[in-house]
Structure 1
């Protein structure tokens, strides 16, 4: 198998603990030209393509990511073990620190069990991405940089030969969407602060990629004919489990009070686009401009030997 060949190539590799390399805006310009940036944006676009014009229920789980899904389910179970505490501050419940400590133990156990023997050395790199995927246990916040850390973890698994491009649709629906649903529960349970939030000018307070992937699911949809349909509450309720973009909009409407155009002006503007193809294309450009090219976000990226800064 090709994946076995890839793994054997990594068997003698010297893995190193990833570190943050981007110290200035000039470093961001170097990052834009790096192989890791190219690999990452291609990876994101390939995932977007893999779910084009497909409802979530159309994806058949091939079982390849069962252990990753079980790990995410275990992290969800830790929410019950670490309920929020009574405190005067509304945001940043301190019980998140206890959840985070338990997450680190679960992550190390998961990686030790999940990785095949020839590439067990990669744990030193993968654990850094996973530990950074759920928010800061110091600032008690979460944002697109943490979301990116999880995407970096998934890309690293691909580079290590644990799955290939033909698995991306299942990866998106069974792993990434499971991660998003976990993060929604964590955000609500512990009232995490939005990290470096654009405030009302962001897509939502925490995420970008679910919109980027989800917009392409809606291309040629016979049920959600154009972007203006996000304002039809009956459509949202009927199809939010079939289309991630609608799920995100529904979540925002549950969490925020007041008119949609006031609390989510960017998404409101996007709802005026002619069709979903334009939205999906625009999301990729916006992700680069508002996330990947923004120093306050990418300064938190960790680079190792699987995903190097070169």
Structure 2
């Protein structure tokens, strides 16, 4: 079945934060953080066949940009040639995932009970298609980045990627491969799309983010810097440090890119659901990494974010807010309107 949108209003966010899909996505983010702690990006990182295949697919997508050169005419919001690239990508996504990922990794049948191989392929390709921006608005934001994380989570569920465990001891760690090999390849592709086609940041004002387009590399990049004695908080915004370390640390790669683009945007309202990542309520009040494949022994836990109900503010006849008393932890504080003129 095709992916569908299930988050249609702010009230649906509560269901999202206790869903299996949220649980799976957050576990993946945490596990990658765990396994790349204090590890820089290096050219000789061991990779599995699956990680190499994903990077080859991303490289293929990157090279295909050359087949759709920008239109040489004034355009206010992004270059329309992006839509041609996107059309090619979306029309071929399913077969590319089949031939360049599943078949090369020896996966030709379903490993998910109750879900056929073609349904798995359709959902994986659906998340992949959503990972590179919106062709109508010619924009890109953290919702598209989230779709790529969902794509990777589905590859674990469908048997393409594998978590470390007794059955594959000694094999390259795919969580490390995601953080230190796949993510740089993905960022290289989407940043080229953003710059070449002049893509807009998704959303007009945005929330809870640090740059125009990405969020997760800041999380994983911070994990890389744990225990690093050379850089402190004051080093983060330094441009020369970012230029020197952008190829080794994701966080500095993001800071380097911030000097080119700045902005913020909404995230989860466009997340899509299927049979692999579902809106079904998860079993438990908090996230447990042990429920994600191969997560035995992991100790990180992250509770779902609390949903703060909006408060109505009393207004007077003119529509302006009426001051009232508010209780704080330090006692009663009376809110008063400041005088118009100081005496």
Shorter-chain-normalised TM-score: which range? 0.7 to 0.9
Corresponding residue for 1:28? 13
- Counterpart CA distance in 1 for 2:217 and 2:88 is 26
Pick aligned residue for 1:304 from 274, 289, 292? 274
CA distance change for structure 1 residues 96 and 49 in 2, over 3 Å: closer, same or farther? same
Aligned partners of 1:168, 1:53: CA distance in 2, in Å? 14
| Deviation of 1:36 (Å) | 1.6
Give the Cα–Cα distance (whole angstroms) in 1 for the partners of residues 225 and 76 of structure 2.
Answer: 36
Correspondence for 1:75:
61
User: In the alignment, does 2:250 pair up with 1:252?
Assistant: no
Alignment of 1:222-301 (within 5 A): 222-223=229-230, 225-253=231-259, 255=260, 297-301=267-271
Counterpart Cα distance in 1 of 2:156 and 2:206: 34
* Structure 1 contact 91–190 (Cα < 8 Å) conserved: no
Q: Deviations along 1:165-192, whole A, 9 cap, x unmatched? A: 3320112222122111110000000011
Which structure 1 segments of 5+ residues have no match? 1-15, 257-262, 265-289
Deviations 1:45-90 (A, max 9, x none): 1111111111111733233322211111111011111111123224
Does the aligned pair in 2 maintain the 1:17–1:125 contact within 8 Å?
yes
* Equivalent residues of 2:201, 2:212 under 8 A apart: yes
Q: 1:200 to 1:250 in 2, by over 3 A?
A: farther
Of 96, 102, 105, the residue aligned with 2:88 is: 102
Rounded Cα–Cα distance in structure 2 between residues aligned with 1:200 and 1:65? 32
Aligned equivalents of 1:72, 1:180: Cα separation in 2: 10
Instruction: Give the 3 Å change call, closer, same or farther, for CA 201–171 of structure 1 in structure 2.
Output: closer
Deviates more, 1:229-238 or 1:124-133: 229-238
Over residues 183-208 of structure 1, what are the superposed CA-to-partner deviations in whole Å (9 max), with x where a residue is unaligned?
A: 00000000111001436974111110
Is 1:198 aligned to residue 205 of structure 2?
yes
1:122-133 aligned within 5 A = 122-133=120-131
Query: Cα RMSD (Å) of the superposition?
Result: 2.1
Q: Work out which of the residue numbers 14, 20, 23 in structure 2 matches 1:38.
A: 23
Contact 1:230 1:249 (8 Å CA) reproduced: yes
Structure 2 distance, partners of 1:49, 1:107, is 31
CA distance in 1 between counterparts of 2:238 and 2:79 reads 34
The whole-number CA distance in structure 2 between the counterparts of 1:298 and 1:134 is 15
Q: Is the 1:97–1:137 Cα contact (8 Å) retained in structure 2?
A: yes
**Which has the larger Rg?**
2
Contact map agreement 2:94 2:122 (CA 8 A) in 1: no
CA distance in 2, matches of 1:249, 1:206: 12
Match of 1:210 in 2: 217
Contact 2:40–2:180 (Cα < 8 Å) also in 1 = no
CA displacement at 1:234 relative to structure 2: 3.4
In the alignment, which residue of structure 1 is the partner of 2:46? 60
After TM superposition, give the deviation of residue 214 of structure 1 in Å: 0.6
